[in-house]
Structure 1
Amino acid sequence: MSNKQQNSLLPKEKQLISEVLALYGFRSDWQGKRSNGGMNNSTFVLHTRDADYVMRQYETHNDQAKIAFEHGVLIALSNTDFKLHSPTPVISLSSSSGKTADQESKESNHSNEENRQTYQLVQDHITGTFKVVALFRYLEGVNPVWDSPEQLRPLGRAAGNLSTALAKLELELKPVYPPYYRIDEAYPLCSPERLLEMCASPPETLKVCAEELEQLLVELPGLFKALRGMEQLPHQIVHGDVNASNVLVDPEGNMSAILDFEFATWDLRVMELAVPMSDMLTMDKSEEWMWQAQANLVQGFREEVELTADELKAIPQLILLRSLDVVMHFISRMLEGTDKPEVATEQIVKLKQRMDWMGRHENQLRQLLTN
C-alpha cells in the first residue's frame, strides 16, 4: 500500500494509518492529512480510491467501554428517522463477513452491525501503549459561525430532532458516563469536595484566578444543592455536547450533521437544550444579540420537543451545571498532566461569569423559557 502526498503527516503517523487501514482491509492507495479533532483525540482525514474517511485515535477517552457505547449509539441512530447526518463507524475486516472496507463503502448493509467490531487496538511504537482507533465515513460541511441570532433557531431545531431520535434508541450496552447532575461521580480527581478545597486554598497552578475561586467557594454549595431531585425529570440517551464545534453546515448554511458523540449517555432530556444555552453565555456578542439568539435556540428546540414545566424550571441551574462540569473536567486534566493550568483557569473564569450573569438575569431567562 502506498501513501502519496501525505502533506504534514509525520512518519509515525503514516505508519499508524497504514497499519489501521490494513486492519480494515483497504487495498487501494490513500492520501491523508491531520485535522482538528478536539482535545480528547487525534483526527485524520483520509482519501481512498472509493471513499473518504475520518480516522480517530482516542487519547484521553481511551476507554473501550465508553467507545463501544458511543459506537452503539451511532449505529442505532443511523437506523432511525434522524433528519441530519451523524458519524457512521466503519466495520473492521476482522469482524465482517470477508468484505474489505473498500467494498463495504459501496454497499449499505447494516444487518447485525451492533455485534461487529467498529474499532481497533493499536500500539504506539514510541510509548508502547495501546490506543483505540476507529474509522468513520467522512461527512461534508464546516462548523458554523454565528453571524446572526436567527442562525440559532436551526441549531435548536437540530438538537431537538436529535433528542427525539435518541429517545427511541434501545441499547443493550450500558452507558459509562454518569448524568451531568451526578457531578459527584464524574471526576474522582476533582470531586465537589476537592473543588471547594481548591476554592478555599487555591494551588499555585490556579493562583491567577484565586479571586474567582474565592467567590465560587460561596456560590457553588447552592448549585450543588439545586441538583438534588433532578433524577425525577425525564431521562433518555443524550448527546450532551451540541454546540458550534460539533455541528456541520452545508455551503448554503443549512444544518447538515451532528458530530462527536463521545459523551453520549443516559441523562436528563433537557440537557440537550441547556448545554448550547450555556455555551452561548460567554460569546463575544451584545446582550441584545445574545437574548435574541437564546430565544431562537429555545424556540427551535421546542418545535421538536415538548418540555415539561419542571424541565423548563431546571434550565437555569443546568446551564451553570454545564459550565461547572467543564471546569471539573479540565481541572482533572490539569491534575493528570494532560493540559496546562491556563485551560482550567479560562474555564473557571467563564463559570464565574456565567454565575454572575445568572444572578442578574435569572428572572428574565425564566420568562423567556415560559413564553
Structure 2
Amino acid sequence: MSDFQNKGLSLTEQQLISNVLTLYGITSGWQGKRSEGGMNNSTFMLHTNGATYMMRQYETHNDQAKIAFEHGVLTALRHTDFKLDSPRPVVSVKNHKTYQVVQADAEGRTKIVTLFHYLEGVNPLWEQADQLLQLGRAAGHLSSSLAKLDLKSEPVYPPYYRIDEAYPLCSPSRLMELCASPPETLTACAAQLAQLREELPGLFEALRGMDQLPHQLVHGDVNASNVLADSQGRICAILDFEFATWDLRVMELAVPMSDMLTMDKSEAWMWKAQARLVEGFREKVELTAQELRAIPHLILLRSLDVVMHFISRMMEGTDEPRVAVEQIVKLKQRMDWMRLNERQLRTLLTE
C-alpha cells in the first residue's frame, strides 16, 4: 500500500475521513488518496485494518431522499439474479445507516457521505467494436434484474422524457432563451446554439407520447465510466446508481448508444459497435417495435439532458462554462449525425 500516503489530502479532508470512519466503527489508523471520480461526487480510496473502501462525498446530489433511494436499489438488487458486482454500502455500527450526514468544513456546511466496499476492476477501454457486445449484455442483464425489484420508496428523479421537470435552472423554455441570446459564458458555442434554436422544438415535440412505452426501474447511466472490467477485460461490475429511477425500459439501451456517437472512432467502427450493443441488450430484453422506433429520439434526449445538466451546474457555479460548451457542441454533432443517418440506424434496430 505504498501509494497510500494521504498525499493530496487537505487537513480538513483527513479530519472528515477520520470522523466518518469512526461513525462506521473503524478507529484504527488509515491511509487514503483521492480517486478519479464522476463530476457529481468526491471519492476517496481508503485502506484500514486490512480492508479497502471507497468513500463517496456527494456534492451536487446532497439530498437524503435521493441517496436513500439509491441505496434501497442497491440493497434490493443483491437479492435478485444479477450476476455482476454492484456497489455495497457499509452499514454503520453507530446508527445502522448506509450514509452519514457530517460537517464538511469549518463553516458548518454538511455533506452526505457513504462508505462502500471496494470493488476490483478498471474502467474498460473500447478498442475493439466487438467489446460492446459485453456492454449490451451487461445493460440488458441489469435491466432484466431491475425489472423484478419492488421498492417501498418512491424515486426522486423524473423520467428522462419529462425533461421539463428535471432542471429548474435550465428548463426547456430557458434553454431556448439561451439559444436565442447566448450569455457571454456561452459565446464559444453561439453558432451551435443558434442552430439548436431551430432544431430543438422538433425534439421536444417528439417526446410527446413517450409515457405510453414500457416503464420500469432503470440505472439510466450505463457507460464505460460506470462499469468495471476484470484482468481478462470482462465486465464484472456496474457502478453509480445515483440516477436510478422509474423510466422507459429502452432508455437503458439508448444511453450507451448515444455515448457511442462522439467517440474518436471511424464510422465503420461506430456502426459495428452500435450493432453489438443492440445485439447484446436484446439477448436479455425483448423490446417492442414501438420502443425500437423511439430510440433515435431517445439518443438525442440523452445528449440534451446532459446539456441541461451542465448548464445548470454552470449557473450554480459548480463547473466552468467550457464544460457546458463541450456538451452543447456534442449535442449539435449528434443532431447533425442523426439527420444524416437516422434511416440507417432504424434499419440496424429492426434487423
Normalised to the residue count of structure 1, the TM-score between the two structures is 0.93
Q: Does 1:277 align with 2:257?
A: yes
Over residues 282-340 of structure 1, what are the superposed CA-to-partner deviations in whole Å (9 max), with x where a residue is unaligned?
00000000000000010000011000100000000000000000000000001111111
Match in the other structure for 1:327: 307
Match of 2:106? 126
Aligned match of 2:54: 54
Native 8 Å contact 2:121 2:228 kept in 1: yes
CA displacement at 1:118 relative to structure 2: 0.7
Matched AA of 2:75: I
- What code does the residue aligned with 2:43 have? T
Cα distance in 2 for residues equivalent to 1:9 and 1:345: 30
Query: 256-265 vs 20-29, which deviates more?
Result: 20-29
Instruction: Supply the AA of the counterpart residue of 1:197.
Output: E
1:29 Cα shift? 2.2
String of CA shifts for 1:206-238, please: whole Å, max 9, x gaps.
111111001000100000000000001011110
**Equivalent residues of 2:5, 2:33 under 8 A apart:** no
Alignment-derived partner of residue 199 in structure 1: 179
Question: How far apart, in 1, do the equivalents of 2:239 and 2:8 lie?
Answer: 24
Instruction: Say which SS state the counterpart of residue 60 (structure 2) adopts.
Output: coil
Per the alignment, residue 225 of structure 1 pairs with 205
- Which residue of the partner structure matches residue 366 of structure 1? 346
Equivalent-residue separation in structure 2 for 1:43 and 1:53 (angstroms):
10
Inter-partner Cα distance in structure 2 for 1:249 and 1:257: 7
Aligned pair 1:40/2:20, yes or no? no
**Equivalent residue of 2:199, what SS?**
helix
What's 2:85 paired with? 85
How far did residue 264 of structure 1 move? 0.5
Higher deviation after alignment, 124-133 or 288-297: 124-133
Instruction: Give, in whole Å, the separation in 2 of the partners of 1:200 and 1:221.
Output: 13
The 2-side partners of 1:260 and 1:338 are apart by 20
Structure 2 match to 1:6? 6
SS state at 1:237 partner: strand
Q: Which residue of 1 aligns with 2:148?
A: 168
Map 1:1-371 to 2 at 5 A.
5-96=5-96, 117-371=97-351
Equivalent AA in structure 2 for residue 257 of structure 1: A
Distance in 2 between residues matched to 1:62 and 1:35, nearest whole Å: 19
Checking the alignment, whether the CA contact within 8 Å between 2:54 and 2:118 is kept in structure 1 is yes
The number of residue pairs the alignment matches comes to 348
Q: What is the percent sequence identity of the aligned residues?
A: 74
Alpha-carbon distance in structure 2 between the residues aligned to 1:275 and 1:6: 36
Q: Which amino acid aligns with 1:40?
A: N
- 1:362 and 1:5 mapped to 2: Cα distance? 52
